Amino acid sequence: MSKIVLIGANHAGIAAANTILDSYPENEVVIIDKNTNLSYLGCGTALWVGRHIDSYEHLFYTNKEAFEEKGARILMETTVESIDFDNKLIHATRANGEKFEESYDKVILATGSVPIAPNIKGTDLENVQFVKLFQDSQVADKALCDDSIKEVAVIGAGYIGVEMAEAVKRRGKNVRLFDAADTSLNTYYDPWFTEDMDNVLTENGIQTHYGEMVQSFEGKDGKVTDLTTDKGTYKTDLVIMAIGFSPNNSLGKDKLETFNNGAYLVNLKQETSLPDVYAVGDCATIYSNAIEDTTYIALATNAVRSGIVGGHNAAGTPLESIGVQGSNGISIFGYNMVSTGLNLAAAKEAGYEVKYTDFEDLQKPGFIEKNGNVKIRIVYDAKTRRVLGAQMASTEDISMGIHMFSLAIEEKVTIDKLKLLDIFFLPHFNQPYNYITMAALSAE
């Protein structure tokens, strides 16, 4: 039996805690989190703020009591200030200011990530808002209820920025979307895809400002009023900041080995460089099968899987992660995009000599009325012909197809293997000459 302390009770910490409590109930489990709530699904922020769903209530999938029922001691609103790794002691502070120590046999760091704050003037002004926590989404939502807030700037056209731009537009505001890059979603998709997303955004009234760097926010009476970029100054009543996450490594960065962005460097068992110290979720690295190396990908899906792996290992069952492909998806004004592995730019940056094959057609036979175009690109290694990535987009739901590519990357399948792969046909779903088959068949 061990005393296992988990620091951080969101997706990664919850998955690790449940794994230990469900499968190894003989252990003593202590869970510590500084927040008032746990298990908030950030993916629901845009859905709620954009009023796709009426309430935030169902964006939480568990609570403190559920862990207590399983026998854990869970301390919410309790901040871990530091860890004495040599003496296995945690120093923490309760909401009332009381300080205390907690010993451990094994500790799981699940402290997640923090939104990146640009080093520019005015980020501390009222109505300059990050959207990481549930509380952040409440602040943003309240601001959007205010009729005097008309002009909204979203900084960062990555996943959060694009989703929030849609949400804010749905609330009837004027939206400007800024990104340093030349397109939206540039790290996930090639321009062949992002051009379509950018058209969808502009057709729905969002003003895109790409290749434009915000230099400062100006304010009056402590509230933001304008933002200035290298190209102009724009009146702004509310700013949503979304330029990425960095790992929350403050507890271990001086003692544990870290990756180039500061994430705790872990092996396939989620073990850090110190014995009995595990790291899971957004605070840790992850192994990518696409680049065949360690990397950093902040996603809830990775948090959950790494939490499960970390939980088993901390409880004494050796289990190795099978790595990830960074599979992801987005749906904006009814336009759906999914990708996995590497896009062309990322594959080149990873040092591959790459080839790709594209195909575009109606998803279903022409005689089916409810139909839409599908675009697919498969990226592969020119030398080994191994599939490195795939991107798909449509107004139709094409999302499930990307999982096959995820497995293909993980299993090092070649593009040639996909050419005659048995893919079913039914007019309700696809064409006899399936878009995946057609893309693979036309590969050089």
Q: How far is the CB of 352 from ligand FAD (least distance, A)?
A: 25
Window 296-315: contact mask with ligand FAD (x via CB under 6 A): --xxxx-x------------
Nearer to ligand FAD, 251 or 256 (CB): 251
Element (H, E) at 100: strand 99-103
Instruction: Say if residues 144 and 50 touch (Cβ distance below 8 Å).
Output: no
**Angle at alpha carbon of residue 371, lines to 370 and 373, rounded to 5°:** 160
Task: Report in angstroms how near the CB of residue 37 gets to ligand FAD at its nearest.
Answer: 8
Please name the residue that has the structure tokens 């840790």: 284
The interface partner of residue 131, options being ligand FAD, ligand NAD, none and the CB cut-off 5 to 8 Å by kind, is: ligand FAD
- Give me the residue whose beta carbon is nearest to ligand FAD: 112
Q: What is the DSSP string of 21-72?
A: HHH-TTSEEEEE-SSS---B-THHHHHHHTTSSS-SGGGB---HHHHHHTT-
Region from 1-9, 146-154, 369-377, 395-403 binding ligand FAD, contact rule CB under 6 A: 1-9
Residue 209 annotated to the active site: no
Pairing of strands 373-381, 354-362: antiparallel
Residues between 289 and 328 with contacts to ligand NAD, criterion CB under 6 A: 298-299, 328
Q: Is 341 in the site for ligand FAD (CB under 6 A)?
A: no
Q: What is the distance between the alpha carbons of residues 126 and 124, in angstroms, rounded to a whole number?
A: 7
Sign of CA dihedral 156, 160, 165, 171: negative
The one-character DSSP state at 265 is P
CA–CA separation, 198 and 200 (whole Å) = 5
State the number of binding residues for ligand NAD (CB under 6 A).
Answer: 27
**Residue numbers 331-350 binding ligand NAD by CB under 6 A:** none
Residue 283 bears catalytic tag:
no
Nearest to 377 by CA among 287, 440, 288: 440
Instruction: State the number of binding residues for ligand FAD (CB under 6 A).
Output: 32
Q: Is 48 among the residues that bind ligand NAD (CB under 6 A)?
A: no
Q: Are 137 and 242 in contact (CB under 8 A)?
A: no
Contact 316, 263 (CB under 8 A): no
Residue 102 or residue 190: which is nearer to ligand FAD going by CB? 102
What are the residues whose beta carbons fall under 8 Å from the beta carbon of 191, sequence distance 6 or more?
Answer: 182, 183
Given 11, 209, 283, 312, the catalytic residue: 11
Q: What's the closest the beta carbon of residue 283 comes to ligand FAD, in angstroms?
A: 6
Enumerate residues 41-60 that contact ligand FAD by CB under 6 A.
Answer: 42-43, 45
Among 4, 5, 6, 10, interactor with ligand FAD by CB under 6 A? 10
Closest residue to ligand NAD: CB criterion = 158
Which chain residues interact with ligand NAD by CB under 6 A? 43, 118, 155-161, 163, 178-181, 186-187, 213-214, 242-245, 298-299, 328-330
Please list the active-site residues. Answer: 11, 43
Which chain residues interact with ligand FAD by CB under 6 A? 7-13, 32-35, 42-43, 45, 79-80, 110-113, 131-132, 160, 248, 251, 281-282, 298-301, 303
